[in-house]
Structure 1
Amino acid sequence: MKLLYWLDEWLTLSRDEQQARLPMRGDDLLDDVFVKYDFVDLDKPLLFTFSPAGTNVQEQDLHSDFAPWGYKLGKKQNVNIISFQHLGKSNWFRSRNLIFFLEQLSPLLEPFNQRLGYGLSRGGFAVGAFANLLKLDQVLLFHPVSTKNKQIATWDDRSSTDIAQQFDWQGDYHDLDLGHAKGYIIYDPTNHIDRMHAKRYQQLTHLRVFGMGHGTHATYLNKFGFYKQVAVDFIGNQQIEIAQFRQQTKTLRFKEDYYKRLNRANKNSAHRLGLLSKAHNIVIGEKEEHVQEHQAQIDIQPLIDVALKYQDKHPEDAIELLKVAQQLAPDDPLVEHKLKQLE
């Protein structure tokens, strides 16, 4: 626990001396959790990230340049960051060694005036469970999980809940405890279990994205930079511009692949497929109107230039770019000609 010893000594210095000791970075292994940290500026926020399910790193995967989930994002935003990466597939940050570390860590971070937390699903649980302990001011959570305590979340019948029962869900930090933290929780209200978990985060601003699912579309949403852009806004401004967020989700709905994936995910529900079809038809009309409204302002030449540059090495990517250009300018003869050539 090198960080604890360093912080303990660092706290005895004046603020100017503390700033002069930065940057300071390092990592540590706490039982089944890897932690990596980077302190750069006392006047910048301190961001905590906890890894979600699906980032199933093993101890043998760790190396000197390994970056836990969210670490690189924090570095790029030039904030102070402490990232926690769970090791193994079933790991809910319940290790006593980790909890002891966090209890010792929190009071040593007194010089940092603004503390943020960011997590998806399992990582969001950890942010919510440790928020009060870590004195977080703002949090951003996707795909909420408030606890795996079956006596509290009686309606959470996911298989992950049964698997998680190998851990202690009666002891400290087994349930959400936000303290004074404010912030945002983003989820799909059509996902019953996510909706029930989200209801328990009453002090957060709820942002709903229909069709987002829980994990099913994570890779897809990430492909279009959805998570990253929202997180960047949150980290940089400690808030999300709601109007811009709505525009992001609207743009997402304009993508045909979005509905194809939703249809596959809901193939066993005729009711939901009917609703999706109705929503899709409405969006097609919105999309045509949106394109016509902005067409005169759109310059597709940069898209064409990039597509032509990479058409030989990466023809599939060039085709995708040209298809986007064609959506923006359906009557452009050059785009139509190049698409026919490449396809």
Structure 2
Amino acid sequence: MKLLYWLDEWLTNSRSQQQARLPMTGSDLLDDVFVKYEFVDLDKPLLFTFSPAGTNLKEQDLHEDYAPWGYHLARKQDVNVISFQHLGQSNWFRSRNLIFFLEQLSTLLEPFTYRLGYGLSRGGFAIGAFANLLQLDQVLLFHPVSTKNQNIAPWDDRSSTEIAQKFDWEGDYHDLDLGKAKGYIIYDPTNRIDRLHAKRYPELTHLRVFGMGHGTHATYLNKFGFYKQVAVDFMRHQKVDIAQFRQQTKTLRFKEDYYKRLNKANSSSEHRLGLLSKAHNIVIGEKEAHVQEHQAQIDVQPLIDIALKHKDEHPKDAIQLLEMAQLLVPDDPLVEHKLKQLA
């Protein structure tokens, strides 16, 4: 627990002296949780991240340069960060050693006046459970699990719930406790269990993404940088640009894979499949209008200029550039004329 000793000694300095001793980085191993931290500036937020399921790691996999989930992204945004990475497959941050560490840590963070929490799924549970203890101001949660206590959430019948029962779900920090924290929760309302967990966070702003799913379905969104962009905005500005978020989710609707994922997630409901089919047909028309609208705003003159400049030395390349321009603005008479000249 090197961090606790360092913080305890560091707090004896004045604020200017504390700042002068930064940056500081290090790591600790707390039973079955690895923690890595870096403090860079007292005037920047302090971000906590907890790893989600699927980032399973063993102690022998740890090395000097290993970074827990969310750590590198936080460092790129130049915020202070403490990242917790669970070890092993079934690990819900219930270790007594980890809890003791967090209880001690919470008393040593006074210089950091603004604190954030970011978690996904299992990591979202940890952010919610420890938010009040760590005095978080803002949280960003993607389809979190609020608890695995079956008396509180009897409707959570996932296989992970049964496996998780080997841990204590009656003791401290077994359920969400946001304290003063506000922020955002992002989830798929078509996922019954996620929707019911999300309802237990009335203090947060609810942002719904149809078809986002949970677990493997959610990896689809990573291809388009969905998680990353929202998290970056949250770390940089301590808020999510909801208008931009809506635009991002609207753009997802134009991707064919999106409907394949939705159809798969709702395969057991004929009613929902019918609604999805209608929505898909409407969006096909919207997509065509969207493409035409943006084509009207495209300036292909630079492509034409480069093609004409190099038409003698590289005629094939010039033709390819003009053909690309024609794809962007298929009805442009100038592009058609220049293509005929070079053909």
Residues in 2 aligned to 1:5 and 1:205: alpha-carbon distance in whole angstroms: 37
Structure-1 residue corresponding to 2:33: 33
- 2:103 paired with 1:100: no
Q: How does 1:236-251 map to 2 (within 5 A)?
A: 236-251=236-251
Q: How far apart are 1:272 and its partner, in Å?
A: 2.4
Q: 1:110 to 1:192 in 2, by over 3 A?
A: same
Task: State the secondary structure of the residue aligned to 1:285.
Answer: helix
- 1:288 matched to 2:288? The reply is yes
Verify: 1:60 aligned to 2:60, yes or no.
Answer: yes
Q: Looking at CA atoms only, which structure, 1 or 2, has the larger radius of gyration?
A: 2
Question: 1:214 deviation in Å?
Answer: 1.1
How much has 1:263 moved relative to structure 2?
2.1
Aligned mates of 1:301, 1:168 — CA distance in 2: 66
Structure 1 residues 332 and 31, CA gap change in structure 2 (3 angstroms): farther
Instruction: Show the counterpart of 2:231.
Output: 231
Residue 124 of structure 1: aligned partner: 124
Aligned AA for 1:207? L
Choose 292-301 or 99-108, whichever is displaced more: 292-301
What SS is found at the alignment partner of 1:117?
strand
**What letter is aligned with 1:212?**
M
SS of the residue 1:212 aligns to: coil
Q: Which residue of 1 aligns with 2:338?
A: none
Cα deviation code 1:71-106 (max 9, x no counterpart): 000000000000000001100000000000000001
Q: Rate the CA distance shift 1:82–1:262 in 2: closer, same or farther, 3 A.
A: same
Task: Check the 8 A contact 2:119/2:144 in 1, yes or no.
Answer: no
| Counterpart residue identity of residue 257, structure 1 | D
> How far is 1:182 from its partner?
0.2
Distance 1:300 1:261 in 2: 35
Q: Does 1:49 align with 2:49?
A: yes
CA distance in 2, matches of 1:56, 1:151: 27
1:260 partner amino acid? K
- Corresponding residue for residue 86 of structure 1: 86
Matched residue of 2:215: which SS? coil
Matched residue, 1:329: 328
Task: Flag structure 1 segments of 5+ consecutive residues without an equivalent.
Answer: 304-324, 334-343
In structure 2, stretches of 5+ residues that fail to align are: 304-323, 333-343
Alignment of 1:1-343 (within 5 A): 1-298=1-298, 329=328, 331=330
Indicate the larger mover: 189-198 or 272-281: 272-281
- Partners of 2:211 and 2:261 within 8 A in 1: no
Q: Residue 262 of structure 1: CA displacement?
A: 2.2
Report deviation, 1:300: 7.7
Structure 1 CA distance for aligned equivalents of residues 53 and 225 of structure 2 = 19
TM-score, normalization by structure 2: 0.87
Q: 1:301 and 1:200, CA in 2 relative to 1: closer, same or farther beyond 3 A?
A: farther
How many Å separate the matches in 1 of 2:120 and 2:302?
34
CA distance in structure 2 between the aligned counterparts of 1:71 and 1:151, rounded to whole angstroms: 34
Task: Rate the CA distance shift 1:300–1:97 in 2: closer, same or farther, 3 A.
Answer: farther
In structure 1, C-alpha distance between the alignment counterparts of 2:59 and 2:302, rounded to whole Å:
44
Equivalent residues of 2:52, 2:123 under 8 A apart: yes
2: CA distance, partners of 1:329 / 1:190: 37
Query: TM-score, normalised on structure 1?
Result: 0.87
CA contact (8 A) 2:211 2:265 kept: no
Instruction: Confirm or deny: 8 A CA contact 2:50 2:83 kept in the other structure.
Output: yes
Alignment size in residue pairs: 312
Deviations 1:202-242 (A, max 9, x none): 10000011111111322110110000000001111111111
Question: What is the rounded CA distance, in whole Å, between the counterparts of 2:150 and 2:301 in structure 1?
Answer: 56
Shift of 1:256: 1.2
Amino acid paired to 2:148: K
**C-alpha separation between the residues in 1 aligned to 2:40 and 2:130?**
23
Matches of 1:139 and 1:302, distance apart in 2: 45
2:46 and 2:192 mapped to 1: Cα distance?
33
CA-CA distance at 1:301 after TM superposition = 9.8
Q: Secondary structure at the match of 2:56?
A: coil
RMSD: 2.0
Distance 2:331 2:88 in 1: 51
Alignment partners' CA distance in 1, 2:57 and 2:103: 25
The alpha carbon displacement at 1:330 in A equals 7.1
CA distance in 2, matches of 1:239, 1:93: 26
**C-alpha spacing 1:20/1:332, structure 2 compared with 1 (3 Å):** farther
- Give distance in 2, aligned partners of 1:191 and 1:302: 47
**Aligned-residue offset at 1:332:** 8.6
| SS of residue paired to 1:56 | coil
Match of 2:113, as an amino acid? Answer: N
Flag the 1:112–1:277 CA change in 2: closer, same or farther, 3 A.
same
1:302 Cα shift? Answer: 10
